[in-house]
């Protein structure tokens, strides 16, 4: 089975610019997660979708971050405007309804904000 | 309290030795405790997981020990190999959400 796909793999932008990341989860996985992983730290959940509805976005900085999963399959995460502290790896993960604790991660998008 | 505390931050073990990573939690509502392994440039990958009604789970060289009363769990890697060099994250699931520890960078030296 194909894994979680993410693009781009790397992105360099200047502060105050906008950026978007894309994620395609494993086929049939209803739950999709976006995490932010700062160097040397564990992944921090930004937003969790079940199908196309938001389950948890309590740690999403909503003044600059937005995410959508319109058709309940792939998802985009946007940052506008970016700040220096947004430099991190953005990980997408998915899980099935039957095994919610088992998340499958994509390779991540490494963002550098200059 | 959703926090999961992990130690040590880094670990150096000789080939063939035992690597031990510890985690502690506060929230008794957590019901599933996975460990993830992450290599540089890759996303985390599920390594092994345990439920709180079991005190130990073993898969190959990897063992989770779980102490429900102390609210602690640990990962033991037996016969550690250089290929095990990676960052390991413990995690805990509760309220449909998974909380990760801060990670342990393991280096296995020949």
pLDDT recorded at residue B1: 53
Sheet holding B56-59, edge to edge: B4-7, B19-25, B72-77, B62-67, B56-59
- Chain centroid, CA A41 distance in Å: 16
Q: Residue B84 above 80 pLDDT?
A: yes
Lowest-pLDDT choice from A82-86, A98-102, A103-107: A98-102
Q: Residue B27 above 90 pLDDT?
A: no
Highest mean pLDDT (candidates A37-46, B23-32, B81-90): B81-90
| Residue contact A48–B96, C-beta within 8 A | yes
* Spatial distance between the Cα atoms of A42 and A27, rounded to a whole number of angstroms: 26
Q: Residue B39 above 70 pLDDT?
A: yes
Using one digit for the tens of pLDDT, what is the confidence trace for A33-76?
999 999 888 899 999 999 889 999 999 999 999 999 988 899 99
pLDDT recorded at residue A1: 63
Q: Chain A neighbours among B 47-76 (CB < 8 Å)?
A: 49
Which tokens in the block code for residue A68? 């959508």
Nearest CA in chain A to B51: A101
| Residue contact B43–A40, C-beta within 8 A | no
DSSP annotation of B84 reads: G
Q: Residue A88 above 90 pLDDT?
A: yes
Residues pairing with A79 in the sheet: A19, A65
| Residue contact B98–A101, C-beta within 8 A | yes
């Amino acid at each position: 089975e194909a894994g979680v796909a993410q693009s781009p793999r790397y992105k360099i932008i200047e502060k105050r610019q906008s950026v978007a990341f894309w994620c395609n989860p494993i086929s049939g996985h209803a739950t999709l997660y976006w995490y932010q992983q700062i160097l040397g730290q564990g992944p921090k959940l930004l937003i969790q979708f079940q199908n196309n509805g938001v389950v948890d976005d309590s740690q999403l900085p909503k003044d600059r971050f937005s995410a959508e999963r319109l058709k309940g399959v792939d998802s985009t995460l946007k940052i506008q405007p970016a700040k220096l502290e947004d430099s991190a790896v953005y990980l997408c993960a998915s899980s099935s309804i039957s095994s919610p604790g088992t998340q499958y991660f994509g390779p991540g998008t490494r963002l550098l904000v200059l | 309290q959703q926090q999961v505390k992990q130690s040590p931050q880094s670990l150096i073990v000789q080939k063939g030795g035992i690597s031990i990573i510890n985690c502690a939690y506060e929230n008794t509502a957590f019901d599933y405790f996975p460990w993830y392994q992450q290599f540089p440039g890759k996303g985390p990958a599920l390594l092994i997981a345990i439920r709180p009604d079991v005190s130990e789970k073993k898969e190959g060289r990897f063992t989770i020990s779980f102490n429900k009363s102390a609210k602690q769990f640990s990962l033991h890697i037996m016969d550690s190999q250089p290929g095990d060099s990676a960052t390991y994250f413990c995690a805990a699931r509760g309220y449909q959400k998974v909380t990760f520890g801060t990670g342990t960078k393991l280096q296995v030296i020949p």
